[in-house]
Structure formats: C-alpha cells, structure tokens
Structure 1
Amino acid sequence: MRSLSFSTKRGSEIETVFDDLAALRIAVFRDYPYLYEGTIAYEKEYLKTYAQSERSFLFAVYEGPQMVGATTCIPLRDETADVRQPFETAGFETDAVFYFGESILLPAFRGQGLGHRFFDEREAHARSFGTYKTACFCSVERDENHPAKPPGYRPNDEFWTKRGYHKEPSLRSYMEWPDPGETVSTPKPMVYWVRSLQP
C-alpha cells in the first residue's frame, strides 16, 4: 500500500478543501457510469450544501499534499430538495435518514480496502448521533448497452450488497448533468440503496 494519510472534517470545515474535493469529483465522475462533465464553479456551489450542515462529514485520503480519495455524508433533511423528494413521497421519516454522498478514489488507489473504510467512517459518524435509523445513497442507472461502457465493466452492486445495502424500488429520482463533450444537461435516472443503521 502506498503511504497515505487521512483527514476528517465536519460542517463548515469542509469548505476549506472545496477546491481539492471539487477537482477529485470531476476526475472520478468523468468515467463510466457517471460520465460527468463538471466544472469547479458548479462543484463548489453544490458543495455549499455540506458546508452549511452542522452534521455533515468528510473523510479524505491523501498521498502527500494530493487528495486522492474522499467520501461525504449529511443528514437527509439537510440535502437538496431533489434528493429528499423520493423519501418524502415514499413516506420515510426523513429526520431519521443519513444520506451518503460521493465515495471516490483515483484508480491507482483502488483495491486497497479504502471503499470499506469509507463506509465504516460514514456509518460510524451517522450512528454517533443516536437518532438515525437508515443510511442511503444513490447511483446512476445507465443502459446495459451504453456505448461508453468499458469492456469488462463490473458495477459495485455486489460490494454494496455485502455492506448490507439493497436497492429500494420505491426510491427513484432524476438528476441532470452534461455528459463529456456536451454543453447541455440531460436527466439521468438515479436509484437509491438503503440499509438499517440499527443493530
């Protein structure tokens, strides 16, 4: 394993690493299946949601001064309306749900157990308050025959299932962003995964 260091930030502290986190999100999410054509300005605006939440959390991985991995989480009630809406429609107690944001690593740092560490850190943070019953996150759904799908691509479904998460059919939404090479945002179907945070 490479020589790595770790950092945690909460609430408004997250704003101090906006530039690094935004650049990492753009680099990782450009790949399939997200195929996201992002900008630093848009990312920093999006990340303000996390800086404005007292209970938000960031766990970051560094090699030297470079952020090479990161994961975030936030109470669902503090998330944007488009993320809250599927849970509200399905009748979830939104004040008891913790939303897990990105879980991103540069390719050279994958396969070292950091994906599990990301979930461990977020789940521990959510449980530390003693009031949250459910953890959730969402993933994009792409057509099985999407032209940008790389040969041998394996989704993370098996990993997420082993972590105790399952797809919740009642929770679906659409989020918009431009694909690489495009200038216009188009809606992408998102499916939500959930698990209980209780013993």
Structure 2
Amino acid sequence: MSRLFITFEGIDGSGKSTQARMLADALRGAGHQVVATREPGGSPGAEEIRALVLEGDPDRWSAETEILLFTAARRDHLERLIDPALAADQIVVCDRFADSTRMYQGLRGPGLRKIVDDLHALMIGREPDLTFIIDMDPAKGHARAKGRQTAEERFEDFGTELQEQMRAGFLDLAKAHPDRCIVIDGDRTADAVAADVFDHATARIAAS
C-alpha cells in the first residue's frame, strides 16, 4: 500500500480537474487505494465554504477575506479527509490545494503572499508530496472555463489578466520547488496528458 498526497494545479480551464479524476481512476485500476477530493471542498464544512467563495460577484470578498475562508475550508478538509486517508496508507489525489491560494489570492496585492504562507504554516502545516501543474495558454484556458457556464465562475470573471499572472506564478512555483512540482503541457488531448501524469505518478509511488 502507498501513502502519497498528490495535487493538481493550474489556471482555470487547464484541465486539472479532468486529469485528477483520470489519475485517480488509473491508480485504482493499478490496484491502489485512492481517495479523490477537491478544494475548496472535500468535507461537508469545506463544501459550504466553497459556495461562498466561488459564486457571486468578483468583488464579493476581498483577497484577505478569501485567504481566511480558504484556509478555514482547508483545515476542515485536512482534519476530516486528507490526514485520515494518509494515516490509512491511501493515496490522496486532490484537485487544487494551498498553491491555488498562493496564486489566486497571494498575487492580488502587496504582502498577500506572505499572509497566505504564514497562515498556511500556522494552520495547515502540510505540503503535497507531488504536485502536477497543468500548463495552458491563459486565453485558451479562460475561454474553456467560461464555456462551461456553471454557477462557479467568480474567479473566471476576473478576466485573462489574473489568469496570466497565475500562469507565471505557477511556473515560478515549479522552479522554486522542483522536488515536488512537475509541469505538464496541457495543450494536448486529455489522454496524452493523462499518460504523462500516470508515468510520473507511478514513478514517484515506486520511489516512495
């Protein structure tokens, strides 16, 4: 049995949710015990916070308030699902984690990234073992995300400028943490991307 915490990150519309689901399915098919989850969400309390932060007008919350809300959701998620699954030697595959807060909120004003990191260290204290950053041209990703036409479009409504900032931020994050971050070209078919992701994931599992 393998104990590994795997996350997927990237701009809106990059396909990370699809890839998280495909990896979880592939790992189960290979005989692993896998818990698939998402952020914000993953536990009942965190799912309630999800509706607060992903719906409504773009200016509904300040970035500072969002940091507090996301951290509260993440703490509940960690206590109720992630930590128990890892303690049971399961693989956790999560669509987004703290890196998204570092980008979506941490890039929106001076000093915000430090607030995100300080609060994360105080209340969460865990980083993923492996993070896949699905890289995508911001214009393509934004068009794809807006085309979904769901109720959870609050961050998409900030426009492509935020997506461009986040893409650069995710790529910088990968350079700063090459031990856990792997950048995957998302501008291909879902199956092609999934094959790369699965190869990297199984190699990390074998080495763990």
Same fold (TM over 0.5): no
Q: TM-score range by the shorter chain?
A: 0.3 to 0.5
